[in-house]
Structure 1
Amino acid sequence: MFLIEAGADVQGIGTETPLALAATDGLTDILKCLVEAGADPNARDGFGFTPIENAARYSRREDVEMLFPVTAHIPGVCDWSVDGIISYANSKPALKGEDMYKVMLANLKFQGHEAVKNKDYLSAEVYTEAIDLDPDDATLFSNRSLCRLRLGNGKKALTDAVACKSMRPGWSKACYREGAAQMLLKDYEKACGAFLDGLKLEPENVEIESALW
């Protein structure tokens, strides 16, 4: 409560939001404070669950009742009521092992994609969580490089671009990401070199050619 009154961010960054954690852990008083402070009740965690679904999975009726008026209808829940949500959540099989990993990774990628589409680059840092799960996916580093570029962090954008390029040296987009980061850092000679590398790999790429010029 004191942190909220002091202006703390109730939304959080990524999938482990304060509201998601409070709903999962059954912290009813904190949950109430966060809801009243305007925390997003429809934000999904790494597994794709909303706070009300997490509360319902543990049959925490009081928490479900608190979240129900502020939560948007969840597709697939035929009986949109407190009892209906609890029944729906309890009918879902528990995720285990490899299935849990796949669902979490797919949901993080989806959230990152949606954030980028909406130009919400700060929230797109969910790519960091995705990279923790799959550190060998060059696409994730490319996407995070883009987000960090849009946020004005050239050094971190370049680090991701270089990592992406080392994983997929034959991918023109990796060269483009590196060049864009070098441009932000005002190292135009290296940027030119990166763009040239990209054009050698994909001579018809208009985006890279435009960036080079």
Structure 2
Amino acid sequence: MPVCFTRLIFCIPNSGVCDMIEVLLSKGADINSLSYCMTPLHAAIMEDQDAAVKTLLDQHADCNKAMSIHCTPLIAALRVRSLKCVRLLIKAGAHVNGVGPLTPLIVAANEGLTDFYKCLLEAGADPDLRGDGGQLPIEIAAHHNRRKDVEILFPVTSRIPYVRDWSIDGILAYAKSLPKVEDDPLFKMGPAYLKSEGSKAYKRKDYVSAINFYTMATKLDPADATLHSNTSLCWIKLGEGDEALESAKFCRMMRPDWPKACYRQGAAQMLLKNYEKACDSFSDGLKLDPTNVEIEDALRYH
């Protein structure tokens, strides 16, 4: 019976499938059975049979059952660009933030589904959830130079610390400035490799090279606060207070509860001879970690 149920969706025209669904259910068919690696609801969505989707949902089909790790019915509806099915699923209680890093908003951003944003956002989709590539929906939209999408997402997205010009034009410019992977073979090595090379350069006191490696790694993994922390330290070693403070601020914005971020900010402010603010930063760090000897010493000799 389960096999017939799923095959039914593909074999019967939209006009007759709803009646057949009800017949099968009356005979005890499992509405959520997996067959051909999908549920009847997935099959109806993939065939864009919105009437069948409505019937299945009315009969309490599970609107959140995934046919693979991440492919919920809502993701499937986005893939086939069916706004009607998306609305039906949301009304039935579909999770608008998905079940993993492949969120509905990430799919919409990747696919350029401009007309779908409003529906998802109004239902509570979180624009601050990152995909498995570490990017936010607005970053993906900017990467594809979809200005209208960026305009929709900008008012609801929290400020991204590493995008220094926090504006629609600023985000688009930031995305355009990012080096393409094919432009530099080092990028193919990934952020972990670049971070490691940066640490090696730091140990041999080649601070300029270290900054370059950390900066490249940041382009690939902008949410890694330790990269900004390491960059700030290198700038301090070079005696460049303004640059050190800039990196430290980004680090602290991303991880406000990290004592080292406070310490980096304080050290940069010391270099700039802004001793009062340095003291405040060190004190903030000590509140987070009262046993931190490094911060204690910084305050003691302040």
Work out the CA distance in 2 between the residues paired with 1:167 and 1:130.
16
Rg comparison, structure with higher value:
2
Match of 1:119 in 2: 205
Instruction: Show the 5 A alignment for 1:1-213.
Output: 46=186, 100=188, 103-125=189-211, 126-213=213-300
Q: Deviations over 1:114-133 (max 9, x none)?
A: 11122211110211111111
Q: CA deviation at 1:104?
A: 2.1
TM-score w.r.t. structure 2 length? 0.37
1:195 counterpart SS class: helix
Q: CA deviation at 1:179?
A: 0.2
1:119 counterpart SS class: coil
Q: Which amino acid is 1:188 matched to?
A: Y
Runs of 4+ in structure 1 off by over 4 angstroms are none
Q: CA deviation at 1:134?
A: 1.3
Consecutive unaligned residues in structure 1, runs of 5 or more: 1-15, 25-44, 48-99
Where relative contact order (Cα < 8 A, 6+ residues apart) is larger, the structure is 1
Work out the CA distance in 1 between the residues paired with 2:252 and 2:218.
15
Match of 2:97 in 1: none
Percentage of identical aligned residues: 60
Instruction: Answer yes or no: is the 8 Å Cα contact 1:165–1:175 preserved in 2.
Output: yes
Aligned Cα root-mean-square deviation (Å): 1.9
Consecutive unaligned residues in structure 2, runs of 5 or more: 1-178
Q: Which amino acid is 1:146 matched to?
A: L
2:256 counterpart SS class: coil
Q: Which amino acid is 1:46 matched to?
A: L
